[in-house]
Amino acid sequence: MYALLLLIPLNMVCVFAFAQEKVEGLGIFKLNETDTSVITKLEKGKGYTRMAVNSKFVLDKYLSDYRFQKGFTIIEFQADTFNVKNNPSWAHYCADASTFLLSKCTLMGITCENVILTFYQGKLNRLECQYPGEMVDSITAKYGKPEVTVYEEDGNCTTQNKVYTRTWTNGDIECVMQITVNDNPICNLEPYRQMWLDVKSIEAIMNPCDMQRKDEILKKGR
């Protein structure tokens, strides 16, 4: 009986030690919690250089500059209202939204590039970035096994690309890791990895706001 009582706490310890966490964010970035003050903290604490950009032309110049790729830079991007059709897909027009592009950032001990943070009414509601392959194991260890789907899509090659998608869900919050590959050696396609976390209810509010504001800009001929 005494030996059995000793085993019970040990089993409980094992259960708690291997329990997966619920999806809330990555590293210091917590969806629905982190506010825009984190940008100032990155400037002061991590030595990031911050700049404001409202032109797709200027944005492209920075993105192609090796100093941006190698350094620690934060770009606060405001949608280009003069060249709306050329804006990146992650640009926002809604007055309550703000977007920041980090050249690189350490998330869960792994360096990720082109980290995009979107805030709605001052709170983080979306994070997206390009990720290295080892990030999959880190996310799985933290959040458990994902739902996995595979589909094919047309690409710039004779054979279709395969898109593998891993999804973790915690109520209103979703984490998606996607990799696009093509095994045809003729295509010479490097695997493309993209991940994002977002708050579905906020996306449902912000997307119509973006569309309405974008339409207003286009109607004005700007």
pLDDT, tens only, 4-41: 444 445 444 443 344 578 899 998 999 999 999 999 99
pLDDT, residue 117, reads 97
Confidence of residue 221 (pLDDT cuts 50, 70, 90): low
DSSP H or E run through 132? none
| Rounded distance between C-alpha atoms, residue 80 and residue 112, angstroms | 26
State the DSSP code for 35: B
pLDDT, residue 2, reads 42
Confidence of residue 59 (pLDDT cuts 50, 70, 90): confident
Tokens of 201: 């209810």
Q: Count the domains in the chain.
A: 1
pLDDT, residue 219, reads 82
Do 125 and 198 contact (CB within 8 A), yes or no? yes
pTM summary value: 0.83
- Look at residue 160 and tell me whether its pLDDT is greater than 70: yes
Do 191 and 162 contact (CB within 8 A), yes or no? no
| Rounded distance between C-alpha atoms, residue 19 and residue 183, angstroms | 36
Range of 188's domain? Answer: 2-219
